[in-house]
């Protein structure tokens, strides 16, 4: 069983981050960042977001772009204290924002539950809610530990996150970490996640976890039941599974366990 301890090192690294004045105006270019602020009860600080982000509770957030492209002029117009990005934001956009003196927080996509929790604390610090985040992380950690005790040991699994082309979660990602916490061996070990059906069938996974695939999940379930008739299949909500927050991580692994118990 993978150890479910949020490492003291990860939190130490969080504490080493420069202390910043609490931001009053946040631009989130990442759906999981926006959701994290919502789950902290701090989404009123989000004054602008992408079209892929959920709207803030006060309904006042401005849409400044989508997952791949953003409008720098719209971002500057809302006078942000900080703009938060991940890998999809183009380097030239980040450089332009910085040239205007905008504080840009560049995050990497978290690879594990531990990193998700660490990022949550960092994000909370930007709006002066670090203590709230530490409590949330602690509570979710306990819940995840409780769920992970119900392990599906010594079984192989495929976590499908895309179809046409077929795409699976690969080792070293937070979705792979979900499987590992449940004692499941991910059949996709290398590459970027693109696989063939023949590859998956030859690996003979006993469990198939798939995101809702934008309405294609039922058709996919039928395909897998024909190709791997003894495999158990569960569908998890794609917006929850692919949006890494501590609460979302716990919700997804709970739904996997409930479906396969």
Q: Are 187 and 166 in contact (CB under 8 A)?
A: no
Does the pLDDT value for residue 209 go beyond 50?
Answer: yes
Tell me what the pLDDT averaged over the chain comes to: 89
Rounded to whole angstroms, the Cα distance separating 31 from 29 reads 7
How many Cβ atoms from other residues are within 10 Å of residue 256's Cβ? Answer: 25
Q: What is the mean pLDDT of residues 89-100?
A: 94
Does the pLDDT value for residue 23 go beyond 90?
Answer: no
How many Cβ atoms from other residues are within 10 Å of residue 158's Cβ? Answer: 28
Task: Evaluate if pTM is beyond 0.85.
Answer: yes
Q: Are 256 and 158 in contact (CB under 8 A)?
A: no
- Per-residue pLDDT of 68-90, as tens digits, reads 789 999 999 999 999 999 988 99
The values of phi and psi at residue 48, to 5°, are -155, 155
Question: Bridge-partner residues for 46, per DSSP?
Answer: 26
Please enumerate in sequence order all residues whose Cβ is within 8 A of that of 257, keeping only pairs 6 or more positions apart, or say none: 147, 150, 152, 182
The values of phi and psi at residue 153, to 5°, are -70, 150
Does the pLDDT value for residue 247 go beyond 50?
Answer: yes
CA 257, 137, 2, 211 torsion: positive or negative? positive
Residues across the chain: 261
pLDDT score of 214 = 82
pLDDT band at residue 14 under the 50/70/90 scheme = very low
């Amino acid at each position: 069983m993978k150890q479910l301890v949020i490492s003291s090192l990860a939190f130490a690294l969080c504490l080493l981050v420069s202390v910043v004045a609490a931001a009053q105006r946040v631009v989130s270019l990442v759906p999981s960042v926006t959701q994290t602020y919502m789950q902290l009860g701090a989404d009123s600080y989000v004054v602008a977001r992408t079209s892929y982000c959920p709207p803030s509770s006060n309904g006042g957030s401005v849409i400044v772009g989508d997952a791949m492209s953003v409008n720098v002029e719209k971002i500057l117009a809302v006078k942000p204290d900080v703009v938060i990005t991940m890998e999809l934001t183009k380097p030239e956009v980040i450089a332009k924002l910085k040239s205007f003196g905008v504080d840009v927080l560049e995050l990497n996509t978290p690879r594990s539950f531990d990193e998700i929790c660490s990022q949550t604390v960092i994000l909370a610090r930007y709006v002066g809610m670090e203590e709230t985040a530490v409590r949330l992380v602690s509570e979710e950690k306990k819940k995840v530990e409780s769920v992970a005790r119900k392990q599906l040991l010594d079984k192989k699994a495929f976590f499908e996150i895309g179809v046409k082309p077929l795409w699976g979660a690969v080792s070293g990602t937070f979705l792979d970490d979900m499987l590992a916490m449940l004692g499941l061996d991910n059949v996709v070990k290398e590459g970027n996640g693109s696989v063939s059906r023949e590859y998956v069938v030859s690996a003979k996974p006993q469990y198939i976890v798939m995101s809702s695939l934008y309405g294609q999940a039922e058709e996919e379930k039928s395909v897998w039941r024909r190709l791997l008739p003894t495999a158990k299949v569960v569908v998890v909500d794609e917006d929850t599974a692919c949006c890494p927050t501590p609460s979302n991580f716990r919700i997804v692994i709970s739904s996997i366990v409930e479906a396969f118990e």
